[in-house]
Structure 1
Amino acid sequence: MTRLRSPDRLRQVCVVAAMALFVVAVYGGVRAVSALAGDTDPGPWVWLAVTALVAALAPAARRHAERAADRIAYGPDGDPHAAMTRFVQRISDTLAVDEVLPDLARTASRVAHSPGTEVRLWLADGAEWRQTWPPGRDDVHARFRLDLQRGSNPVGQLGVEVAEDQLSPADRELLDGLAGPAGLALANVRLTYELRGRLRQATELAEQVRRSRERLIGARGAQRRRFAAEVRDRVDAHLAVSAGTLADGAQTADMLERARVQALAALEALRELATGLYPPALADGGLMDALEHHVDRMARPVTLEAAGVEEARLAPAVRAAAYFCAAGLADDLARHGPVAVRLDLDGDRLRLRVGAPGRPGADTAQIIRDRVDAFGGDLAVSGPPDRTEVTATLPLRAPADAGAGPAVGERP
Structure 2
Amino acid sequence: MLGLSQPTPSARLVGAVGLVVAFTSAPYAWRFVEPVAVRFLRPTPTMALADRVDELTAQRADATVAQAAEIRRIERDLHDGAQARLVSLGLSLATAEKLMETDPAQARALMREARAGATASLTELRDLVRGINPPVLNDRGLVDAVRALALDSPLEADVSADLRLRLDPPIESALYFGVAELLTNAVKHASATRARIAIARDATTIVVDVEDDGRGGAAERADGGLAGLRRRLAVFDGSVEITSPAGGPTRVRMMVPCESL
Q: Same fold (TM over 0.5)?
A: yes
Q: How far, CA to CA, are the matches of 1:351 and 1:206 in structure 2?
A: 26
> Is 1:340 aligned with 2:196?
yes
Q: How far, CA to CA, are the matches of 2:234 and 2:85 in structure 1?
A: 40
Residue 229 to residue 155, structure 1, CA distance change in 2 (3 Å): closer
Q: TM-score w.r.t. structure 1 length?
A: 0.46
Q: How does 1:298-337 map to 2 (within 5 A)?
A: 298-306=153-161, 308=162, 310-311=164-165, 313-334=166-187, 335-336=189-190, 337=192
Q: TM-score w.r.t. structure 2 length?
A: 0.69
> Is 1:230 aligned with 2:59?
no
SS at match of 2:201: strand
Residue 234 to residue 360, structure 1, CA distance change in 2 (3 Å): farther
Residue 258 to residue 355, structure 1, CA distance change in 2 (3 Å): closer
Residue 125 to residue 264, structure 1, CA distance change in 2 (3 Å): farther
Q: CA contact under 8 A between 1:213 and 1:370: conserved in structure 2?
A: no
Q: CA RMSD in A?
A: 3.1
Q: How far, CA to CA, are the matches of 2:186 and 2:112 in structure 1?
A: 43
Residue equivalent to 2:250: 388
1:280 to 128, 135, 145: 135
Residue equivalent to 2:41: 193
SS at match of 1:250: helix
SS at match of 2:126: helix
Q: How far, CA to CA, are the matches of 2:241 and 2:33 in structure 1?
A: 23
> Is 1:292 aligned with 2:140?
no
Identical-residue share of aligned pairs (%): 24
Q: How far, CA to CA, are the matches of 2:98 and 2:210 in structure 1?
A: 59
Displacement of 1:348 in angstroms is 2.2
Letter in 1 for 2:149: H
Residue 195 to residue 262, structure 1, CA distance change in 2 (3 Å): closer
Residue 240 to residue 344, structure 1, CA distance change in 2 (3 Å): same
Residue 206 to residue 381, structure 1, CA distance change in 2 (3 Å): farther
| Count of aligned pairs between the two proteins | 215
Q: How does 1:152-191 map to 2 (within 5 A)?
A: 155=36, 191=39
Q: Which has the higher contact order (CA 8 A, sep 6+)?
A: 2
Q: CA contact under 8 A between 2:143 and 2:163: conserved in structure 1?
A: no
Give per-residue Cα distances to partners, 1:340-366, cap 9 Å, x unaligned.
211111222211112234225531121
Q: How far, CA to CA, are the matches of 1:208 and 1:388 in structure 2?
A: 29
Q: How far, CA to CA, are the matches of 2:36 and 2:65 in structure 1?
A: 48
**Structure number, greater radius of gyration:** 1
Unaligned runs of 5+ residues in structure 2 are: 1-29, 101-106
Residue equivalent to 1:243: 90
Residue 123 to residue 215, structure 1, CA distance change in 2 (3 Å): farther
Give per-residue Cα distances to partners, 1:153-206, cap 9 Å, x unaligned.
x848xxxxxxxxxxxxxxxxxxxxxxxxxxxxxxxxx6453243x654543443
Residue 382 to residue 260, structure 1, CA distance change in 2 (3 Å): closer
Residue 125 to residue 296, structure 1, CA distance change in 2 (3 Å): farther
Q: How far, CA to CA, are the matches of 2:33 and 2:50 in structure 1?
A: 19
1:376 to 237, 244, 251: 237
